[in-house]
Amino acid sequence: MQLMVLNGPNLNLLGSREPQVYGHTTLAQIMQALIDEAAPLGYTIVPYQSNHEGDLVDKVQLAKHEKYSGIIINPGGYTHTSVALRDAISAVDLPTVEVHLSNIHAREEFRHFSYIAPVALGQITGFGAMGYSLALRALTAYLDNRI
Protein backbone atom coordinates (compact mmCIF):
# COMPACT_ATOMS: atom_id res chain seq x y z
CA MET A 1 0.00 0.00 0.00
CA GLN A 2 1.18 3.50 -0.80
CA LEU A 3 1.23 6.50 1.51
CA MET A 4 1.72 10.03 0.25
CA VAL A 5 3.94 12.24 2.41
CA LEU A 6 3.45 15.91 1.62
CA ASN A 7 5.73 18.67 2.84
CA GLY A 8 4.88 22.33 2.48
CA PRO A 9 6.79 25.56 2.10
CA ASN A 10 10.34 25.98 3.36
CA LEU A 11 10.69 22.36 4.44
CA ASN A 12 13.18 21.93 1.61
CA LEU A 13 15.46 24.12 3.77
CA LEU A 14 15.54 21.69 6.70
CA GLY A 15 19.02 21.12 8.02
CA SER A 16 20.02 24.75 7.51
CA ARG A 17 16.85 26.71 8.34
CA GLU A 18 16.67 27.72 12.00
CA PRO A 19 18.35 24.54 13.28
CA GLN A 20 17.61 25.60 16.86
CA VAL A 21 13.91 25.16 16.01
CA TYR A 22 13.88 22.51 13.26
CA GLY A 23 17.09 20.56 13.88
CA HIS A 24 19.98 19.65 11.59
CA THR A 25 18.38 16.76 9.70
CA THR A 26 17.51 17.44 6.07
CA LEU A 27 14.14 16.65 4.52
CA ALA A 28 15.84 14.08 2.25
CA GLN A 29 17.25 12.32 5.32
CA ILE A 30 13.87 12.33 7.05
CA MET A 31 12.11 10.96 3.98
CA GLN A 32 14.72 8.21 3.46
CA ALA A 33 14.37 7.11 7.08
CA LEU A 34 10.59 7.04 6.65
CA ILE A 35 10.87 4.98 3.45
CA ASP A 36 13.15 2.53 5.25
CA GLU A 37 10.80 2.30 8.24
CA ALA A 38 7.67 1.81 6.13
CA ALA A 39 8.97 -1.03 3.95
CA PRO A 40 8.91 -3.78 6.63
CA LEU A 41 5.39 -2.65 7.54
CA GLY A 42 4.28 -3.33 3.95
CA TYR A 43 3.93 0.32 2.95
CA THR A 44 5.57 2.40 0.24
CA ILE A 45 6.26 6.06 0.95
CA VAL A 46 5.92 8.57 -1.88
CA PRO A 47 7.34 11.91 -0.69
CA TYR A 48 6.66 15.29 -2.23
CA GLN A 49 7.60 18.84 -1.24
CA SER A 50 6.37 22.11 -2.68
CA ASN A 51 6.48 25.75 -1.74
CA HIS A 52 3.27 26.29 -3.73
CA GLU A 53 -0.19 25.83 -2.26
CA GLY A 54 -1.82 24.77 -5.53
CA ASP A 55 0.79 22.04 -6.07
CA LEU A 56 -0.03 20.58 -2.67
CA VAL A 57 -3.78 20.75 -3.36
CA ASP A 58 -3.19 18.96 -6.69
CA LYS A 59 -1.19 16.22 -4.95
CA VAL A 60 -3.91 15.69 -2.33
CA GLN A 61 -6.49 15.30 -5.08
CA LEU A 62 -4.17 12.97 -7.00
CA ALA A 63 -3.81 10.77 -3.91
CA LYS A 64 -7.46 9.76 -4.19
CA HIS A 65 -7.31 9.02 -7.91
CA GLU A 66 -4.06 7.08 -7.67
CA LYS A 67 -5.41 4.89 -4.87
CA TYR A 68 -3.14 5.96 -2.03
CA SER A 69 -4.16 4.52 1.31
CA GLY A 70 -3.44 7.65 3.32
CA ILE A 71 -1.55 10.91 3.67
CA ILE A 72 1.03 12.25 6.09
CA ILE A 73 1.30 16.01 5.75
CA ASN A 74 3.48 18.72 7.17
CA PRO A 75 1.78 21.73 5.64
CA GLY A 76 4.35 24.17 7.02
CA GLY A 77 3.02 27.72 7.01
CA TYR A 78 -0.09 26.62 5.11
CA THR A 79 -1.25 25.00 8.35
CA HIS A 80 -2.44 28.37 9.55
CA THR A 81 -3.67 29.88 6.28
CA SER A 82 -4.87 27.34 3.74
CA VAL A 83 -8.58 26.70 3.57
CA ALA A 84 -7.93 25.27 0.08
CA LEU A 85 -5.60 22.58 1.44
CA ARG A 86 -8.03 21.81 4.25
CA ASP A 87 -10.90 21.47 1.76
CA ALA A 88 -8.85 19.18 -0.51
CA ILE A 89 -8.04 16.86 2.41
CA SER A 90 -11.68 16.82 3.42
CA ALA A 91 -12.83 16.19 -0.15
CA VAL A 92 -10.61 13.16 -0.83
CA ASP A 93 -11.65 11.50 2.43
CA LEU A 94 -8.32 9.70 2.95
CA PRO A 95 -6.98 9.16 6.45
CA THR A 96 -4.50 11.96 7.07
CA VAL A 97 -2.05 12.66 9.87
CA GLU A 98 -0.68 16.18 10.35
CA VAL A 99 2.95 16.53 11.44
CA HIS A 100 4.99 19.48 12.71
CA LEU A 101 8.63 19.34 13.74
CA SER A 102 8.26 22.07 16.34
CA ASN A 103 5.53 22.38 18.93
CA ILE A 104 3.29 24.87 17.13
CA HIS A 105 1.27 25.39 20.32
CA ALA A 106 4.35 26.63 22.20
CA ARG A 107 5.33 29.14 19.53
CA GLU A 108 3.87 32.43 18.28
CA GLU A 109 0.13 32.72 18.79
CA PHE A 110 -0.66 32.71 15.05
CA ARG A 111 0.85 29.20 14.83
CA HIS A 112 -1.55 27.76 17.41
CA PHE A 113 -4.42 27.39 14.93
CA SER A 114 -4.51 24.69 12.27
CA TYR A 115 -6.97 24.51 9.39
CA ILE A 116 -5.79 20.93 8.82
CA ALA A 117 -6.34 19.47 12.29
CA PRO A 118 -10.17 19.28 12.09
CA VAL A 119 -9.99 17.09 8.95
CA ALA A 120 -7.06 14.91 10.08
CA LEU A 121 -7.03 11.73 12.15
CA GLY A 122 -4.62 13.48 14.46
CA GLN A 123 -1.77 15.93 14.83
CA ILE A 124 1.77 15.15 15.93
CA THR A 125 3.73 18.20 16.95
CA GLY A 126 6.97 18.99 18.72
CA PHE A 127 9.01 15.79 18.35
CA GLY A 128 11.30 16.88 15.53
CA ALA A 129 12.02 14.40 12.76
CA MET A 130 10.66 11.60 14.97
CA GLY A 131 7.20 13.09 14.37
CA TYR A 132 7.16 11.57 10.89
CA SER A 133 7.88 8.13 12.33
CA LEU A 134 5.13 8.61 14.91
CA ALA A 135 2.75 9.67 12.13
CA LEU A 136 3.67 6.59 10.10
CA ARG A 137 3.06 4.32 13.09
CA ALA A 138 -0.29 5.94 13.84
CA LEU A 139 -1.48 5.94 10.23
CA THR A 140 -0.47 2.34 9.55
CA ALA A 141 -2.06 1.20 12.82
CA TYR A 142 -5.28 2.92 11.76
CA LEU A 143 -5.13 1.42 8.25
CA ASP A 144 -4.36 -2.04 9.64
CA ASN A 145 -7.33 -1.71 12.05
CA ARG A 146 -5.10 -1.80 15.12
CA ILE A 147 -6.53 1.43 16.53
In the annotated binding site for substrate, the residues are 74, 80, 87, 101-102, 111
Among 112, 59, 111, 109, which Cα is nearest to 89's?
A: 59
Q: What is the DSSP string of 7-73?
A: E-TTGGGTTTS-HHHH-S--HHHHHHHHHHHHGGGT-EEEEEE-S-HHHHHHHHHHHHHTT-SEEEE
Catalytic residue (choose from 43, 68, 78, 100): 100
Amino acid at 121: L
**112: annotated active-site residue:** no
Rounded CA gap, 60 and 94, in Å?
A: 9
**100: annotated active-site residue:** yes
Question: Residues within the annotated binding site?
Answer: 74, 80, 87, 101-102, 111
Catalytic residue (choose from 22, 68, 115, 132): 22
**Catalytic positions, written as ranges:** 22, 100
